[in-house]
Structure 1
Amino acid sequence: MKIVQYEDSMQFAEVAEPIIAKNEDVFSLFFGVLQAIKAGKYADPYMAAVMEGEDVLALMQMTPPHPLNLVLVGESRKDEVIDLIVRELRGNSIAVPSVISLKQWAKSFANAWENETGETQKLLMDQGLYRLDEVEETLEMSPGSWKYATDADAPLIEKWFALFEEDTNLDRTSPDIIREKVSAFLEAREVFLWEDEGKVVSMMKKSRPTTNSVTVSLVFTPKEERKKGYARTMVAQGSKELLKEYEFCVLYTDMMNPTSNKIYKEIGYKHIADSIHIGFEK
């Protein structure tokens, strides 16, 4: 059993994609980020596989400062595989700010990393992963209509991006970086807005598209417009539009927020897996 690290994303994709594609909904984050790496959107990504002969036992992917994403192929040798990964990362002085994976894998990695490094693990987000194949047609919609965001909406989206990070306890992004990100979102026509009586009241974003699927993210409604059904309507109508192009949509929810989980289920999203994001502190 050994770890093979890849510098060429296309070579890594040849190894990873046949495995990921079998459960593209569950591994949508890994698959979507890999597509972005192949498109040159990340500098110096870490890509590796645990191999035994021709068999792949695990896949790893990291685009600093984002978390290590870990996929195991089978459970029978989980502890042995994770111990090897931790030793390899440590031996090559590869920093791991955090790990994200299915809950049982991420927890096993975090425990092994904590024991090896002395760093303390910290829960960043307990997540539910949901899949949508069709929108519930009987869902009551809030008044208004959706539109693609344009350059004129940039200041509002930048403000809401920062508030979204605050609400979800994510690390804060600098205003300059937010401005760059929003500009890229708008250029790619990735942001959907819900507008009621001429006022924008909610938003969502299209993320990590693949041939078959797309992720819904950055769902946000300002506090003064909440409890009016705008977020549910925005996600329902935005997802319905995305399903014209993609086979299915996925999204991650905060399992500590029962309201959002209830909303997505009402739309037609089905809970398919539990994921967890764990950070490390020295």
Structure 2
Amino acid sequence: MASVAPDWHLTRDLEVFLDCAGGFLRSEPALHTVQLTVTDALARQGSAAYGPKPPHFAWLTDRDGAVWATALRTPPYELNLTATAPEAADALAARLSEAGHALPGVNGPADTAAAFATAWERRTGATAQLTTNQRLYRLGTLTPPDPAPPGRARLATGDDHALVAQWHAEFSTATGGRPMRDPGRWAEGRIAHGGITFWETPDSTPVSMAGALPKVAGQIRIAPVYTPPALRGHGYAAAVTAAVSRAAQAAGADEVLLFTDLANPTSNALYQRIGYRPVRDFAVHTFRT
């Protein structure tokens, strides 16, 4: 990485942010998948896509004006930060703390997130705790389970709204907390763009679901994947994830991506069996005052 003068620019204007940093985000779609999908949703749906409070954006430029890193936050979510040097992470912590930002945490590449968390502790007196280790995977050669469990994949429709909302709430609880967004509105939005697929048994009972975000910069990210606890162990998650992955490829995605929690060896092994390969490790640090 070239020598960077840590000059962070802050804005609440999505158009300004994308005009300045959109090219940088699209330069590495896999590594920037979160910010690409978040800004796409904000562009299509407005700030209400994530909550009532306005989002915040930041980008780092060098002395020649080239963008080297970006950050965004859609309250109440954590700050999302792309890879950057420790001194640049420290400079961003300084800018945000001086501007009075109260952050619940940071999410980003593991080394960058750790550097920002350390800087935030030093500058604000908050306590940072590593709460989640994640791994980003990219689909290589898709290898669907053979044999597949009995049943088939199908897109969720408006008639499935209540179940999709329920399973989203259960997924959020199972992965560490309450839903940040209203489950009903989340379900409505996902169903509207064909973003939820069920695996259903031969008697048409849904037993697992997988989501897919809209294609942005050639990448589609699979999220979430959920099977109710009583229905696990039958291969439903692998089957529905393979079906959604195949659909993403058919939709023209250059890269099909997903995140896993490294604390869950079952899901990590499952995705690798069907063709996903590691790209980079990420981490979430939570801040407490």
TM over 0.5: yes
- CA 1:30 to 1:173, structure 2 compared with 1: closer, same or farther past 3 Å? closer
Amino acid at match of 1:42: S
Match of 2:80 among 69, 76, 84: 69
Structure 2 unaligned spans of 5+: 49-53
Per the alignment, residue 262 of structure 1 pairs with 269
2:58 corresponds to:
48
* AA partner of residue 228 (structure 2): P
| Cα distance, 1:17–1:205 mapped onto 2, change above 3 Å | same
CA distance in 1, matches of 2:140, 2:15: 29
Q: What TM-score, normalized to structure 1?
A: 0.91
In structure 2, the partner of 1:154 is: 161
Question: How far does residue 14 in structure 1 lie from its aligned partner after superposition?
Answer: 3.0
CA 139–13 in structure 1, closer or farther in 2 if over 3 Å, else same: farther
Q: State the Cα distance separating 1:140 from its structure 2 match.
A: 3.1
Q: What displacement does 1:187 show?
A: 1.8
CA distance in 1, matches of 2:216, 2:55: 19
Contact preservation (8 Å) 2:77, 2:180: no
Aligned to 2:51: none
In structure 1, C-alpha distance between the alignment counterparts of 2:39 and 2:114, rounded to whole Å:
23
- In the other structure, the counterpart of 1:252 is 259
Shift in CA distance, 49/29, structure 1 to aligned 2, threshold 3 Å = same
Q: More deviation in 27-36 or 225-234?
A: 27-36
In percent, how many aligned pairs have the same letter? 27
Cα drift, residue 206 of structure 1: 1.1
1: CA distance, partners of 2:146 / 2:110 = 31
The residue number in structure 2 matching 1:223 is 229
CA distance, structure 1, for counterparts of residue 234 and residue 12 of structure 2: 49
Letter matched to residue 129 of structure 1: L
Whether the 8 Å CA contact 1:232–1:264 is kept in 2: the answer is: yes
Q: Name the CA distance, whole Å, in 1 between partners of 2:267 and 2:83.
A: 29
Superposition map of 1:102-181 within 5 A: 102-136=109-143, 139-173=146-180, 177-181=182-186
Checking the alignment, whether the CA contact within 8 Å between 1:202 and 1:221 is kept in structure 2 is: yes
RMSD, aligned CA: 1.8
Q: Alignment length, in residue pairs?
A: 276
Kindly provide the amino acid, as one letter, of the partner of residue 195 in structure 2: E
